[in-house]
């Protein structure tokens, strides 16, 4: 199971890089050699860059795990792409949510804080954890954040790569 998860994560990074290349950009999967960056992407001239952190989920699931680093703001040229990679043989399409880092950090932090302050299933106080999640459509986080508006928003990355 763990190797399947690892293979799915690797595949997701390559699918995202492939989509960016298809759109006319240079996208390189860092293979874990760059902290906080799964894909480094530039315009063809190599004068503008963005960093992309990819997180993988199975379409149809309720959440995508992103971890604590999703609460950090790495800057305006940093993006998260949640890559929905369907199971082999599935009729479900690939899904991509392109989310600016600032938006991710604000919403993941707010949702986690709200989760901490709500009682658990048995009325108990919740303990701090390193787990952070993003709820996927049609679901929303406790804070009400809905990532639907970021589905296939590749133009957010393109705007950074084409800015003067």
Q: Tell me: the pLDDT tens digits for 77-136?
A: 999 999 999 988 999 999 999 999 999 999 999 999 999 998 888 888 898 999 999 999
Number of separate domains in the chain: 1
Residue pair 80/99 in contact (Cβ under 8 Å)? The answer is: yes
Please tell me the predicted confidence (pLDDT) of residue 119: 87
Please tell me the predicted confidence (pLDDT) of residue 20: 98
Closest CA to 85 of 15, 25, 140, 34: 15
Using pLDDT thresholds of 50, 70 and 90, give the confidence band for residue 2. Answer: low
Q: Backbone phi, then psi, for 38, in 5-degree steps?
A: -90, -35
39 - beta bridge partners? Answer: 29, 52
All residues at 6 or more sequence positions from 1 whose CB lies less than 8 Å from its CB, including other chains: none
Most confident of 24-33, 108-117, 127-136, 149-158: 149-158
Find the helix or strand (DSSP H, E) in which 78 lies. strand 78-84
Please tell me the predicted confidence (pLDDT) of residue 1: 43
Closest CA to 133 of 122, 125, 121, 142: 142
The range of the structural domain enclosing residue 19 comes to: 2-162
Over residues 37-84, the pLDDT tens digits come to 999 999 999 999 999 999 999 999 999 999 999 999 999 999 999 999
Across 136-158, average pLDDT: 93
Please tell me the predicted confidence (pLDDT) of residue 3: 57
CATH number for the domain harbouring residue 143: 3.40.1350.10
Evaluate if pTM is beyond 0.95.
no
Please tell me the predicted confidence (pLDDT) of residue 4: 79
Q: How far apart are CA 44 and CA 55, in angstroms?
A: 25
**In this structure, what token pair is assigned to residue 63?**
């959440």
Would you mind telling me the total number of residues written for the chain in this entry?
A: 164
Of 5 and 131, more confident:
131
Q: Backbone phi, then psi, for 40, in 5-degree steps?
A: -105, 125
């Amino acid at each position: 199971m763990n190797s399947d998860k690892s293979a799915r994560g690797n595949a997701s990074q390559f699918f995202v890089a492939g989509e960016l290349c298809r759109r006319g950009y240079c996208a390189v999967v860092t293979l874990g050699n760059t902290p906080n960056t799964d894909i480094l992407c530039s315009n063809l001239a190599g004068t503008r860059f963005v960093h992309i952190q990819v997180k993988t989920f199975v379409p149809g699931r309720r959440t995508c795990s992103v971890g604590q680093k999703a609460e950090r703001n790495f800057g305006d040229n940093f993006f998260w792409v949640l890559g929905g990679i369907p199971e082999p043989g599935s009729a479900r399409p690939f899904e991509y949510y392109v989310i600016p880092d600032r938006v991710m950090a604000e919403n993941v932090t707010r949702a986690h804080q709200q989760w901490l302050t709500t009682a658990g299933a048995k009325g108990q106080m919740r303990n701090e954890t390193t787990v952070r999640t993003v709820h996927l459509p049609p679901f929303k986080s406790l804070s009400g954040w809905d990532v639907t508006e970021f589905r296939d928003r590749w133009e957010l990355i393109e705007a950074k790569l084409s800015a003067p």
